[in-house]
Amino acid sequence: MAYDSDSVDDEHSRPDGVNDTTVEALGELSKALETIHRVRGHLYSAHQLVGGADLTLDRVVKLLREAGHDEVANRVEQELLGRNLLPGRWTFQIVEEFDDGYYAAFQEIERDAREELAGGRRHIFEAEMKERRRTHGMPGHEATP
């Protein structure tokens, strides 16, 4: 269902010959990429949280030693402080591998699909949904800024 240019801006309008199923597929691919963006944010959150917890262990070891609990302090210091989260990897390495591998590939495939199937236009599905759902002529329901 194509919309006239007075409603949807050119950047988000459906190119001629692009069918509903293609627009829906690109919309779903975009939605999946948005989920992966969120995953990346969660990985960075985990990276920062694990790093902060590891730095807190310095104080834990100090306090345990002051309290006379050298055995427990030694165990925290030797077995936990600076420990890899996954075999051979601290969180910065996990984030880097994710960014350079899966994340980069996902972004490239989504971009290439848009280029090939819709002239590179983004969010066509959402722009058309906005057009269907907005109330024409109502403040706050304008098609474009």
User: For the segment 59-99, what is each residue's pLDDT rounded down to a tens digit?
Assistant: 999 999 999 999 999 999 999 999 999 999 999 999 999 99
Question: Secondary structure of the chain in the HEC alphabet?
Answer: CCCCCCCCCHHHCCCCCCCHHHHHHHHHHHHHHHHHHHHHHHHHHHHHHHHHHHHHHHHHHHHHHHCCCHHHHHHHHHHHCCCCCECCECHHHHHHHHHHHHHHHHHHHHHHHHHHHHCCCCCHHHHHHHHHHCCCCCCCCCCCC
Domain range annotation of the chain: 10-133
Q: With pLDDT > 90 as the criterion, what percentage of the chain qualifies? A: 86
Query: What pTM was computed for the model?
Result: 0.84
